[in-house]
Chains A and B, each alone.
Chain A
Amino acid sequence: EAQVTQNPRYLITVTGKKLTVTCSQNMNHEYMSWYRQDPGLGLRQIYYSMNVEVTDKGDVPEGYKVSRKEKRNFPLILESPSPNQTSLYFCASSSTGGGITEAFFGQGTRLTVV
């Protein structure tokens, strides 16, 4: 079954404690992205990757890092989380960029930073 898997689904952490949210896809997609979803703001892109070792900033990259060492994995790293990073996070993948082909989304990770 084609899917994008995020872990964990729920996470509560304290300010400043480094964390990683994992994302893995089994469709051999080149493009992967991270979004955050906040009420009234929709989804905003954090980072995206066009292929292995190729990443670039989206609209709201501050406070986040990503890496793409393997095609299937695209982890999101928060080196020093702050309460304003409390949000619902989604990973997505697609076979091409520019949204031409369907983007497949993970189930989401609800992060709370206290």
Chain B
Amino acid sequence: AQSVTQLDSQVPVFEEAPVELRCNYSSSVSVYLFWYVQYPNQGLQLLLKYLSGSTLVESINGFEAEFNKSQTSFHLRKPSVHISDTAEYFCAVSSSGSARQLTFGSGTQLTVLP
């Protein structure tokens, strides 16, 4: 079985400050890791994903996440946030080779303050 833990349910941060949203996973097999973002009253959108290769993955809007196998983590970071980054962020895991789809964490609400 696989599971995802997002350690912070709410993260308030001032505009232009750096932010880190934490995600830890557990799985007995190799995994694929994802971050999805949900803006108010919308469905989820893929932000970035790790499948293999470089452990540092980046999104087009400045977010990055690093896969750390020894610490079973996939933390999401951004060096300078904008008001428009206010949203709920979900970390998700999928076991490679599994027919099942994604297992999601409980979500982190990022609120960027002016």
**Chain B proximity of A74: nearest CB distance (Å):** 13
- Is the CB of B46 closer than 8 A to any CB of chain A? yes
The stretch from A14-22, A36-44, A62-70 touching chain B is: A36-44
The stretch from B13-21, B60-68, B91-99 touching chain A is: B91-99
Q: Is the CB of B104 within 8 A of A42?
A: yes
Count of chain B residues near A, Cβ 8 A: 30
Q: In the complex, which residues of chain A have a beta carbon less than 8 angstroms from the beta carbon of B104?
A: 35, 42-44
Known interface pairs A43-B104, A103-B102; A98-B42 also in contact (CB < 8 Å): no
- Interface set of A (CB-CB < 8 Å, partner B): 4, 31, 33, 35, 40-45, 48, 50, 56, 58-59, 90, 92, 94, 97-100, 102-103, 105-108
- Interface set of B (CB-CB < 8 Å, partner A): 4, 6, 9, 32, 34, 41-46, 49, 51, 90, 92-107
